[in-house]
Amino acid sequence: MNFDRISQTIDVERMQHSHATIIGGAYAVGSDLVRCGLGSLTLIDYDIVTESNPARQDFSSTDVGLHKVEVAAALMRRINPEVEVDVMIRDFCSISDDEFETNLGHTDLIINAADYFPAQARGCLLAVRFGIPGLWIGLYRQGRAGEIVYWVLDVTDACYRCICSSRYRVFESGQAAISSAGGTIFDMRIVDGIAGQLAVGILTRGAPNRMGRLIDKLGNRNLLQVKIDPDYRLGDKDIFSQYLGTHPANFSFTTIALPMERDENCPDCGGIERREYRDEENRETVSDG
C-alpha cells in the first residue's frame, strides 16, 4: 500500500510495527486501522454473522452464517495483503491470564467493543494487569449517543472500572448485555471514527504530528461522550448543555471529553503507580502535567 497521503498526519512506520487486539465488534475500526498502516491484529469473538448484521455492520448477506472474525480478517487482508491477522473464535472471558500473556502479551492496544459487560470488565482487568493501553467503544440505547473510554498507564488516572463503577454495580445485579438496538450504521461510524483516531493516537504516541500529540493533549480527559440525537438526555439530564451551554450551535454531533479521577480503592487499578513516558524520537520526557 502507498501511505504517502497520510504520512504527514500518521506515523505509518510506527503503525506498521504495532499490534492491536480487538474484542467483539469494532471491525470497521480494525479495517480503518489497517488502512492507516497497522501491521498486525488479533480478532477475538465467537459470534457468527446473522441476517440483522448487514444492516448495522460491514457485513454482506453472503456472510450470513460465517464467523464474524473470519469475515473481518478476510476484508483486512484484501485491504492490505501484508497485514498479519490472527483470529480466535472463542469467548474472551475464557482466556486465562497466563494464556493472554503468552499469546497476546505483545499487543500494543486492547480495543473492546463487545456488547457483553463481563468481556468489557475482563478487558479492563487484563489491560491494567499487564500495563497495556485499552480502548472501550459503546453506543447508548437506540444509538442516540455514544461513549469512548481509554486508559494509558502513564497518562490517565482512572481506568475503565473507575469510570464505569456504577455500571459494574448494575451488571453485578444480573444484567450482562448492553443493548444498542435502534443504533444505525451511521451512529456506529460516528463513534468509531473518533475511537479510531484515539487508537492511532495511542499507537503512535509521541510522534511529532497531530495524531502523535493527541493523547497527551487529552491527558486524563479519558471519558468521551458523543451526542448524536439532538434531543438526547442521560436520564433527565442534558449532559452536553451542562458543559457546552445552551447556544443554538450546540445541536448534535458534538463530543465532550471529561477529566476522570482514579478511585483509590478500585480493585483493578488502585495500587498502580504512574510513571513517566519517554518520547524515544525527541528524547524528551513528557510529564503527566
Whether residue 210 is predicted with pLDDT greater than 70 in this model: the reply is yes
Say how far apart CA 48 and CA 67 lie, in whole Å: 4
pLDDT tens profile 165-198: 988 888 877 765 666 678 999 999 999 999 999 9
Cite the DSSP H helix spans in 60-135. Answer: 68-79, 97-104, 117-130
Evaluate if residue 272 carries a pLDDT over 70.
no
**pLDDT score at 170:** 82
- How many of the other CB atoms lie within 10 Å of CB of 179? 12
Average pLDDT score over residue span 146-175: 90
Helix H or strand E encompassing 243: helix 239-244
Question: Which CATH number does the domain housing residue 202 bear?
Answer: 3.40.50.720
The reported pLDDT for the residue numbered 111 is 98
Question: pLDDT (tens digit, 9 = 90+) per residue, 52-100?
Answer: 999 988 899 999 999 999 999 999 999 999 999 999 999 999 999 999 9
| Half-sphere exposure in the Cβ direction for 238 (13 Å, CA) | 13
d(CA 116, CA 112): 10
Sheet (strand 254-258) strand order? 84-88, 40-44, 19-23, 109-112, 134-139, 145-151, 223-227, 254-258
Q: What angle do the packed helices 165-172 and 117-130 form, to 10 degrees?
A: 130
Q: Residue 285: is it exposed, middle or buried by C-beta count within 10 angstroms (0-12/13-18/19+)?
A: exposed
pLDDT at 274 over 60: no
How far apart are alpha carbons 134 and 109 in whole angstroms?
A: 6
C-alpha cell at 124: 479492563
pLDDT given for residue 238 in this prediction: 95
Determine the structural domain holding residue 48 and report its residue range: 4-286
Q: Report the run of H or E that residue 111 belongs to, with start and end.
A: strand 109-112
- Is the CB of residue 247 less than 8 Å from the CB of residue 51? no
Count up the domains in the chain and report the number.
1
Quote the pLDDT of residue 173: 74
Which helix (H) or strand (E) segment is 136 a member of?
Answer: strand 134-139
> For the chain, what percent of residues have pLDDT higher than 90?
82
Mean pLDDT of 119-131: 95
Give the CA dihedral 228, 257, 21, 270, nearest 10 degrees.
Answer: -130
Q: Which of 227, 113, 118, 130 is nearest to 175 (CA)?
A: 118
Q: What is the mean pLDDT of residues 236-243?
A: 94
Average pLDDT rounded to a whole number, residues 272-276: 50
pLDDT at 116: 87
Q: Residue 200 and residue 10: Cα distance in Å, rounded? A: 8
Cβ neighbors of 80 (< 8 A, separation 6 or more) are 1, 34, 35
What pLDDT is recorded for position 175? 65
User: Is 50 exceeded by the pLDDT of residue 239?
Assistant: yes
Residue whose cell numbers read 468481556: 119
Tally of residues, the chain: 289
